[in-house]
A and B are shown apart, each in its own frame.
Chain A
Amino acid sequence: MNPVVRMVLQRLGLGLITLFIVTIIIFSAIAMLPGDFAKAMLGQSATPETVAAFQREIGIDRPPVERYFAWVGQIVQGDFGSSFASRTGYRRTVAEIIAPRLYNTMFLAVMTALIAVPLALGLGILAALYRNSWFDRVVNTVTLTTISFPEFFVAYMLAYLIISRDTFIGTEFAQSLPEWLAASINWVLNLVPKFPTLANISDQTPFWEHVWRAALPSITLTLVIVAHMMRMTRAAIINMLASPYIDMARLKGMSPMAIVLRHALPNAWAPIVTVIAFNLAYLIVGVVVVEVVFVYPGIGQLMVDAVKSRDVPVVQACALIFAATYILLNLTADIISIATNPRLLHPR
């Protein structure tokens, strides 16, 4: 059997076992949380009778083990169940709650990846090519700065920039500056497009408006993830450039760019792809803070909401999706690094 195919099957099997373990962890973690959906919903106005009526209806008065197996049984059949927010005659399935949110998150992740990955690779290759030049230093400093700030800070700064665009000239600070300076700062600020600070999109939002509304979250995430991928690209390529076969290529008289692209890069893919996969996974499972700041209805916010209100079926489904995302992306990274490395592709 082809080693790649064998590895994929093996890893998929392992992934399923991992997912199964994850279900146990998720379920017991949620069972250990204090309070339940009925109490969270009723809050201060909970009375023992209303809580009991609620619990009966959504079935959380049954023992945990029974509930666990009922849940896993449903998942195996591809049914994520109903949210606790359902009522008699008004069923809200977990799938229909999650689907639009997952789409939004994927939209943002893909949009960010389309900007960030080429940018990071390009910058990384150029930085490796001109290493220790001023260009290399500037790129390194800037990307390290943006990755060092927490994402909510970057997000708030961007939002503040958009607000300042219209209001800077009226502030006391601007009035204390010389007029020409204030005017030129204002001119620069007005070059910034007036991105919406509120990324509240709905299922009726047209495609390009969706892109426009998601601009600020996407820029924030790009700033946060570019450094990691760019530095890995640079390091991996520089590592390769020290090899004897690169010296050979140089002696042949190849141009530096051609050496990097044709000889160094193919051998450097493995670590780069791993880092890219890691960052893509982050884009799907880790962006809740950015979603909250820009009011973007993604799956991260949904999960936090669901945890707060103890809407257990939704929390479980989100956690499973996140786990599966990690497993699949890591698998893809492994396949790509094997496929690009003949030594791994044809082991002796």
Chain B
Amino acid sequence: MSESEYKLRLAQNLIGRGKVSRRDFIHLGLAAGLTVAAADMLFVSVARAAPKQGGFAKLGMAHGATTDSIDPAGYPDTFTQTAFSGAMSNSLTEVDAKGSIQPDLAESFETSDDATTWVFKLRKGATFHNGKTITSDDVVASMQYHMGADTKSAAKSLLESVTNIKADGPETIVFTLNSGNADFPYIMSDYHLVVMPAKDGKADWESGVRTGAFVLENFQPGVSAKLKRNPNYFKNGKPYLDEVEFIAITDLAARMAALSTGEVDYIGRADLKTLGMLKRKPNIDILEVTGYGHYTLPMNVTVAPFDNPDVRMALKWAIDREEIAQKIFLGHATVGNDNPIAPAIKFAINPEPQHKFDPEKARFHLKKSGMENLKIDLSVADAAFAGAVDAAALIRETAAQCGIDVNVVREAEDAYWDNVWLKKPWCASYWGGRATADWMFTQAYSADSSWNETFWKNPRFNELLIQARAETDEAKRSAMYAEMQQLTHDDGGAIVLVFNNFVSAKSKKLAHGELAPNWENDGLKMAERWWVANA
């Protein structure tokens, strides 16, 4: 690298911080052998790409209800999750754009050999919005808020394995688990498990005093939340924005219109059907991330005819996943293979053979099960996932070609999770996805989980689950997870249709780095991670 090229590189780094003017940069560019136009273009692209301080963003969220509150026991959907967890609060750890775990409020974490004890060290000098230093007592109180008999927290089951939490000095927290869990730091990244100040030994969520990049200014449940930059945020230089406003726009068409007319700078969950029209607009970008979330059709394997593995296998071959991904989700989904572990997750494999529509194989298994002329009910509602009813209609058509008579029962959307899910033998379900194989398997497939939606109790699978959780040797662990995924694929009761993509849209005014796959809205942390590009 010549001296002038080196200077140019240096200058590029400085542009983002506003320390080099366009004129100076072009001079340097000429010295390095660039033309004026090329140097100017380079300046613009670098200036755009580097995060800049300042500005205001209005973010249109796809949810919002008058019952929303800043209480982390709830956070039912994208509005509260993105505004109150992602922007206003921090957990001990966070998931980055690569899907790996990073310390957040914790500075570091380490474990014992059997992964039953986890020690988290807090960042030094991190403070709450009111200036108070964060101590281990705050963390202990915040975690205990989700535990115990009287809690109403949706995160209760996450912390079920924790037998003891104690503060060891002001900066160290020790978690003791009832069995080893090598992925425990991932669990600590959950959006419910934010750190709140302790008041008389109890977590104080009511005040809204948290640790995050933004301070809550005004919140109208179901309408909007306005937050202001936290000048004392512990992450250097972050956040970039001065102010963010989250606006609840539940109506799909209203959301698209709001972005088109510039009323908001970003919308979550864009309308797939009119995405083409939005794409044509010059000042709008479409963002698409393949996440961990997936749509499943769980069969209750304790109920006839699903207790017969060949019936399950026949159904797995009788569904055209490709067609469903193309026709129902308009290509904004990745075809599933009856393995709930998303390809982007560590230890994921793609079990052989890939299940696809094959009437021959379906008929073969049906014959083997001795249940020709099979008639079954499939209970669906769009409350499970948007498009469930249409997908069921396609399934009826393809299954009919295999000699299976699927009767689509359209259930009420209201109280679907209460009346249909875990109650009807074959229904539709949605999993937001978990960041690790263990987490996903433990919650939805382990024998004693209350959410084991297929009631599948494979002894080998459950034995491996416990072994793999505590195993710290990566190679052994990888082999165990591969076997478990193969078991779910071959014997399990869940038909994994597709992994859904997070499709959102933004105006060119906003810029961002690589998007995190763990949740929508850049892993819920868009407010902290995004900035205003100078146009």
Write 18 A-B pairs (CB below 8 A) sorted by A numbering.
A34-B415, A44-B429, A46-B417, A53-B151, A84-B67, A167-B260, A194-B261, A197-B263, A198-B263, A200-B247, A204-B218, A292-B254, A295-B251, A305-B67, A305-B222, A306-B67, A311-B66, A314-B66
Contact between B247 and A89, CB atoms less than 8 A apart: no
Quick one: CB contact mask for A41-66 with B, threshold 8 Å, 1 for yes? 11111111110011001000000000
Question: Among residues 21 to 44 in chain A, which have CB atoms less than 8 Å away from a CB atom of chain B?
Answer: 33-35, 38-44
Q: Which of B65, B68, B451 contacts A308 (CB 8 A)?
A: B65
Say yes or no: A197 contacts B261, CB within 8 Å.
yes
Q: Which residues in chain B, 52-89, are within 8 Å of chain A measured between CB atoms? A: 65-69, 71, 74, 76
**In the complex, what's the smallest C-beta–C-beta distance from B350 to chain A, in angstroms?**
26
* A-B pairs, 9 with minimum CB distance: A35-B415, A45-B154, A198-B263, A34-B415, A85-B67, A35-B418, A305-B66, A159-B257, A309-B67
Q: Is the CB of A39 within 8 A of B415?
A: yes
**Contacting residue for B66 out of A34, A198, A302, CB 8 A:** A302
Judge if A87 is at the interface, Cβ distance under 8 Å: yes
Residue A293 CB within 8 A of the other chain: yes
Instruction: Across the interface, name the chain A residue whose C-beta is closest to B430.
Output: A44
**Shortest distance between the CB of B449 and any CB in chain A (Å):** 10
CB–CB B249/A295 < 8 A: yes
Distance A44 CA – B76 CA, assembled complex (angstroms): 10
Assess whether A45 is in contact with B157, with CB atoms less than 8 Å apart: yes
Report Cα–Cα, A226/B148, bound state, in Å.
59
- Indicate whether A294 reaches chain B with its CB closer than 8 angstroms: yes
Q: Is A145 an interface residue (CB 8 A)?
A: no
In the complex, what's the smallest C-beta–C-beta distance from B412 to chain A, in angstroms? 7
Beyond known contacts A33-B414, A194-B261, A198-B261: 10 more, CB 8 A cutoff = A34-B418, A41-B67, A43-B154, A47-B450, A49-B149, A202-B218, A292-B250, A292-B251, A305-B67, A309-B66
**Given A53-B149, A163-B260, A294-B254, also A203-B71 (CB < 8 A):** no
The answer to whether A89 touches B206 (Cβ under 8 A) is: yes
Please measure, in the bound complex, the distance between the C-alpha atom of A105 and the C-alpha atom of B67, giving whole angstroms. Answer: 19
A203 to B218, CA, bound (A): 10
**Known contacts being A42-B154, A305-B65, is A202 close to B417, with CB within 8 Å?**
no
- Taking the complex as formed, is B220 at the interface, i.e. its CB lies under 8 A from any CB of chain A? yes
List residues of chain B with CB within 8 A of the CB of A48.
450
- B223 lies within 8 A of chain A by Cβ: yes
Q: Would you call A162 an interface residue if the criterion is a C-beta within 8 Å of the partner chain's C-beta atoms?
A: yes
Return B273 CB to nearest CB of chain A, in Å.
14
Interface string of B258-284 (1 = CB under 8 A from A): 101101100000000000000011100
Most chain A CB atoms below 10 A, which of B247, B261, B264: B261
Main secondary structure of the interface of B (DSSP, over half): loop
User: Which residue of B68, B156, B281 contacts A49 across the interface (Cβ within 8 Å)?
Assistant: B156
Interface, chain A (partner B; CB < 8 A) = 33-35, 38-50, 53-54, 57, 83-85, 87, 89-90, 97, 100, 156, 159-160, 162-163, 166-167, 170-171, 194, 196-198, 200, 202-204, 292-295, 297, 301-302, 305-306, 308-309, 311, 314
The answer to whether A90 and B154 have CB atoms under 8 Å apart is no
The 8 Å CB contact of B264, one of A156, A159, A198, is: A198
User: In the complex, what's the smallest C-beta–C-beta distance from B333 to chain A, in angstroms?
Assistant: 20
In the assembled complex, the Cα of A301 lies from the Cα of B221 at a distance in Å of 12
B303 within 8 A of A: no
CB neighbours of B221 from chain A (8 A): 85, 97
In angstroms, Cα B68 to Cα A97, docked, is 12
Nearest residue (CB) in A for B70 is A90
Structural contact, B417 and A50, CB atoms closer than 8 A: no
Report B-chain residues with C-beta under 8 Å of the C-beta of A292. 250-251, 254
Assess the A163–B257 pair: CB atoms within 8 A: yes
- B76 x A50 contact (CB < 8 A): no
| Interface contact B254-A197, CB-CB below 8 Å | yes
Cβ contacts under 8 Å, B157 to chain A: 45, 47
Is B393 part of the binding interface, using a Cβ–Cβ cutoff of 8 Å?
no
**Complex Cα distance A115/B412, Å?**
40
Q: Which residues of B contact A167 (CB under 8 A)?
A: 260, 281
B112 adjacent to chain A (CB < 8 Å): no
Convert B292-305 into 0s and 1s, putting 1 for each residue whose CB lies closer than 8 angstroms to a CB of A: 00000000000000
Please, how many angstroms separate the alpha-carbon atoms of A45 and B421 in the complex? 11
Asked if A295 and B76 make an inter-chain contact with CB atoms under 8 angstroms apart, the answer reads: no
Q: Which chain A residues lie closer than 8 Å to B151 at the CB level?
A: 50, 53
Beta-carbon contacts under 8 Å, B224-262 to A: 224, 247-251, 253-254, 257-258, 260-261
Q: Which of B71, B149, B257, B414 contacts A197 (CB 8 A)?
A: B257
A102 to B340, CA, bound (A): 46
- CB <8 Å contact, B419 and A54: no
- Asked if A203 and B206 make an inter-chain contact with CB atoms under 8 angstroms apart, the answer reads no
In the docked arrangement, what's the CA distance between A293 and B220, Å? 19
A43 touches B417 (CB 8 A): yes
Does B222 contact A297, Cβ atoms closer than 8 Å? yes
Q: Mask for B404-446, Cβ within 8 A of A = 1, else 0? A: 0000000010110111010000000110000000000000000
Which chain A positions have C-beta within 8 A of B415?
Answer: 33-35, 39-40
Q: Which residue on A lies nearest to B66, using beta carbons?
A: A305
Q: Are A311 and B150 in contact (CB under 8 A)?
A: no
Say which residue of B65, B76, B254, B451 sits within 8 Å of A293 (CB atoms). Answer: B254
Q: Are the C-beta atoms of B421 and A198 separated by less than 8 Å?
A: no
What is the CA–CA distance of A40 and B77 in the complex, to the nearest angstrom?
12
B152 contacts chain A at the CB level, 8 A cutoff:
yes
User: Judging by beta carbons under 8 Å apart, are B258 and A198 in contact?
Assistant: yes
Tell me the smallest distance from the CB of A210 to a CB of chain B, in Å: 14
A contact residues around B264 at 8 Å (CB): 198
Q: Are A198 and B249 in contact (CB under 8 A)?
A: yes
* Contact, CB under 8 Å: A90 / B69: yes
Whole-angstrom distance between the alpha carbons of A211 and B25 in the complex? 49
Residue of A nearest to B453 (CB): A44
Specify which of A53, A200, A301 is in contact with B150 (CB 8 Å cutoff).
A53
Residues of B within 8 A of A171 (CB): 280
Q: Which residues of A contact B251 (CB under 8 A)?
A: 292-293, 295
B84 → chain A closest CB, angstroms: 14
Set of chain B residues within 8 Å of A170, measured between Cβ atoms:
280-282
Most buried by A among B154, B223, B450: B223
